[in-house]
Structure 1
Amino acid sequence: MIYLDNSATTKPFKEVLDSFVTVSSEYYGNPSSLHNMGAQAEKLLSQAREQVSKLLKVKPSEIYFTSGGTEGNNLAIKGTALLHKNKGRHLITSSVEHPSVRSAMEQLEQEGFEITYLPVDRYGRISVADLESAIRKDTILISIMHVNNEVGTVQPIEEIGDLLKKYPTILFHVDAVQSIGKIPLLLKEGRVDFCSISGHKFHGLKGTGALYIREGTRLAPLFSGGNQERKLRSGTENVAGAVAMAKALRMTLTKAETGLVRMKKIQSMLRNGLTEIEDVQIHTPHEHAAPHIINFSLKGIKSEVFIHSLEQKGIYVSTTSACSSKKKSPSKTLLVMGVPETLAESAIRISLSFENSIEEAITALEGFKESADQLRKVMK
């Protein structure tokens, strides 16, 4: 099996699974309980928070554990809107955000907020000049993803952070779910107020994540209950999940130095090989692109048909984002990038991890070509 759908989810590291099982079976006390078992669980939770904060180069008090990217994005966006609605009701985002951001914005629109959706160029990148032009006196939040989950475009987060130094009252949220371990992001220096990450994107477990909230910045909680996570995220903490995520993040960042070199080599090899296949158009840009994603279309062949053909060869890829792949509609990201609908309907996403090998890339390219040739013969 050759698994090339790592932007949807990654295979958990064995050490991550082992730590989850150990904590779940031996330290299963509720961290809010007063007895010793609760104290042990609370200590493990605090250690996990310290580890994540150290790896992200922030303070432990700035890390809040969540269930993943979707919750983190919703908490940052809706929590800001609810708390600051009397200051302003205008938010800015891009037209190529993940559904968890887009849908949160659309829900706020129904509540009377105004949203500006910034256009992107043919590479899927926003213009910082367009962003500044969109800023109003009542703008309270800007939410921009770091790496696009479909085409891999890297947005100008550092430039946005520099711009926002002139606008100290506007909060800045970054969805870094796809960039952790692949593209550096300095939260403090980048003037980022909120940053969402998700454990299962870097070999942790599904249902784990964290939201960075800059010290001195506040949000309105979305959950009511026992006031866990310093009153911001009620609900009994997933101690084993937090410990496992901290380990996954540490292992991923440790592997990054050598892993990124191999990953970039594999991406280049795949990209060059795809250009040799008839009627392939690659949508992922050469510049300002993450090293783990390649999005391409195979003219005249529906993406679902191509994916199932590859699956029969033991090769796993995807169409758009995992959250939207079953809708069988063209990628909105590709459409706003100016890709014709017929090509958008044929889009395929390859996404790598540090675990993929050059040998797998060679075999995958052979499979891509064989499937393309077989399907074209059937269609004639």
Structure 2
Amino acid sequence: MKILMIGPGEPSRRNSGLGVACDHIAHELSNKIHLRLFSPETLEENAQHSSENKNTYKIHLGDKLGDHRELNADIVHVQIKSALTPYFYLSNTEQEITQEQDNHIQQALDEYTKALTIQGEKVDFDLIYAHDWMSIPAAIQLKKRFNKPLVLHIHALDYDRTGKKSNSWLYKLEKEGLNAANAIISVSHYHADIIIKNYGIDKNKIHVVHHGVNKKEIEKFVSPLKEPIILFAGRLCSQKGAMEFIETAKILHNKNEDVRFVMAGEGELFPALINKCMEEGMMDKFHFTGHLKQPELFSLMSGASVFVMPSASDPFGLSALEAANMGLPVVLSDKCGVKELLPNAEVVSKSDPKVYAQRIIKLLQNPEETRNSIKGNHEALKDKNWSNSVDKIIKIFENSI
């Protein structure tokens, strides 16, 4: 079975959790089937461009981006305009995209699609396996051109980013891809319901495959701080509940709770978050790390006390799964798909900073109960590794061919 995978590129600050998940999937697939991987390069890896895998082919298109680490697959790198990333979109509460920017993004997508389609015509494959909106136009064209089945893996949608059903070109593109796909992979039952209700997709062609988590060998982080660390990790944006985390911290700060707050990640809300911390007189209790690579993030998790994910809508929430795997108690929004794998997580049913603060205090003040929560989540993750997740994906491939 030869699979043509169109992915978002190697994990980087430009593709966030999507890149991490697809990287794990690609490596597991490459050990089990014949994989051909098409993906955009990234700016961060451009400096390493000289060390190419012999099976790697480059398409020069627009601004230079980067390289992809070696794996057991035929790889095609596609260089695209820098405006085109999985997370170009910004919600109305953060920053409006101008018509000029929108046009530039669509032009970059058209060029990327053309390059992918040209390369797709040169290789042999049995099935197209595409991830999210950037891959949809090329996937549809290749499906029509070669009459091959299409499996579309959805990690996030326009609905999650805007919080509503829109009439944008991106929503229309996603709906076209969902309708064209022979099978759809959703990362959670929570998100499958969104696909069905807001995109009008037949539930019978949607398959839920949760992300996995592998055991980690890391250098444990020894905190120089005496206070417990409350950790947020993710894009600093409204969708991830970044401002809700600040409001939660404000409540704990006003209660004179002796804790520190760490926000790991980058995003559009960064200046507003800094300003809010300054206004509330909390800067001496806050630490903003910027983007962290996976080993650095896991090390930080090993020294934290509580992980908080107050997302407005999170199809999965991979960082929360990683945190639970690292032995952290987790406080989640009920709009996070990852709750389906963490039976002992503290789940908050509405976006209320007071409730988040109460749950954090509960975990800090009840160590025995917290240890039981950690143990319960850890037990639930025993067989939730990436290899098992990819086995389910391969079964979907087999049933689609």
Q: For the superposition of Structure 1 and Structure 2, which TM-score range results when normalised by the shorter chain?
A: 0.3 to 0.5
- Relative to the length of structure 1, the TM-score reads 0.34
- Relative to the length of structure 2, the TM-score reads 0.33
